[in-house]
Structure 1
């Protein structure tokens, strides 16, 4: 599958004021990409590879520590947001029919400076990149609304609380450690097949690339390399009611927060 490349330069983060009519060509390109393929490469967004690498670098230092040092920052240990924090290897099953995924993650969801972080530098880098991604995703959502012939702010209004405890948008720093082929379970992957949970997902990778659509396969035998990526999962506000844009009842209405919890229960198990 060939993923189209769209130049986002006309609405990059360096552009301060852009009128709706100036976004018409971009909205048409984005609509074509999403309706015909479902995925798109955006170039000239305003987010640099250096910014991406900085997040990966500080994240890798965290992942390479012992589990004992990472445990205090585990997902589920933060009272104000159950999805914030470290996810250990094999804890998550994005395809519930497979064994646990062979990856680690750190989820940045809560931006409160007074919660515990691995270090002040870690907090600063992760939260700064979260906010950059927030700014970019709001621009993408505006263009998406225009491409559908909707009011430009219709999606923005449903995502107004990104970065607060009333919205589940998440920056995930993902780390795929070396695989010991002798301990791999039948059917196990680094990341199982899945569809994402929210409005859109923005994925960033190193210059080496290598990400696949929907899943991450095992490396070939003898390959002990590691991999990293960043994913910004954009969620509507928890109380936002999700309905069909065309006014139909093809899918029943659901609150964003309720749906997100259901999906988490599928991935992490139901207690």
Structure 2
């Protein structure tokens, strides 16, 4: 993980978080029609309810909600109770796409590779043939005394794709060091946290390493909420990811199949 600056984005981040919060604070019956797996052309698009996801499958469901923006198909139905929801989400998705491509060029140069080496597998971002997702996350107030045993706001996990851009409203994220110790990731105003994900680790034969991270429950008596925006960058569904150094450290894997396998672990097989 490392931090970078996205010039001029602070106002846009605030706007996305504001309209996302407006959506999350609606009653569940208002959000239900926009649930994840409602949209056939993009099953990952839509609302994820509280405790529906277990990013660490060994723990109870995570104490968070999410709205996944992963499709712009004309048939997608967007929440209409929140003004400009579709427009703001779509605009921010495109900004994040542009930044992520720049970051991957820099990463390739850092490895001494052609700067376009990763981009060919990301040519379909923003279509239904690529799983890249802008995820608005909302962590509601928690009564720690009533939480289930072992329950967290977000269970320990590593991200699935190539990189993740993370925008935070407050601290709460923890990352695991190589020693196994979890440390708090600072929330730097105006900064973007860039996270290496699992397929990038495979692709680079561990030259870039994915990292486990989590969000703990707030301290007893803390009734604050937390928000974040995560732009999960995925290779095109049909892209085959193999070690770019020509080694066989990791076997080749098709990006879309790998992503679906990870979703099955987080949501169950249903």
Same fold (TM over 0.5): yes
- Residue number in structure 1 paired with 2:250: 251
Q: Distance in 1 between matches of 2:115 and 2:164?
A: 19
Q: Which runs of 5+ in 2 are unaligned?
A: 176-212
Relative to structure 1, is the Cα distance of residues 237 and 47 closer, same or farther in structure 2, using a 3 angstrom cutoff? farther
| Preserved CA contact (<8 Å) 1:158 1:240 | yes
Give CA-to-partner distance per residue, 1:141-168, whole Å, 9 cap, x none: 1111111111111111110000000000
Question: Relative contact order (alpha carbons < 8 A, sep ≥ 6): 1 or 2 greater?
Answer: 2
Of 145, 157, 161, the match for 1:198: 161
Task: Output aligned runs, 1:1-271, within 5 Å.
Answer: 39-43=1-5, 45-119=6-80, 121-206=84-169, 208-213=170-175, 214-271=213-270
Give CA-to-partner distance per residue, 1:203-240, whole Å, 9 cap, x none: 0012x444332000000111111000000000000000
Q: Which runs of 5+ in 1 are unaligned?
A: 1-38
SS at match of 1:105: strand
Q: Distance in 2 between matches of 1:48 and 1:177?
A: 25
Task: Tell which structure's C-alpha radius of gyration is larger.
Answer: 1
Deviation at residue 113 of structure 1 after TM alignment: 4.5
| TM-score, normalised via structure 1 length | 0.83
Give CA-to-partner distance per residue, 1:38-66, whole Å, 9 cap, x none: x10102x2242111000000000000000
| Preserved CA contact (<8 Å) 2:125 2:131 | yes
Q: Distance in 2 between matches of 1:75 and 1:114?
A: 15
Paired residues in the alignment total: 231
Q: Distance in 2 between matches of 1:48 and 1:89?
A: 28
| TM-score, normalised via structure 2 length | 0.83
Query: In terms of mean alpha carbon deviation, does 105-114 or 225-234 score higher?
Result: 105-114
- Residue number in structure 2 paired with 1:24: none
Q: Distance in 1 between matches of 2:231 and 2:89?
A: 11
SS at match of 1:98: coil
- Residue number in structure 2 paired with 1:32: none
| Preserved CA contact (<8 Å) 1:161 1:237 | yes
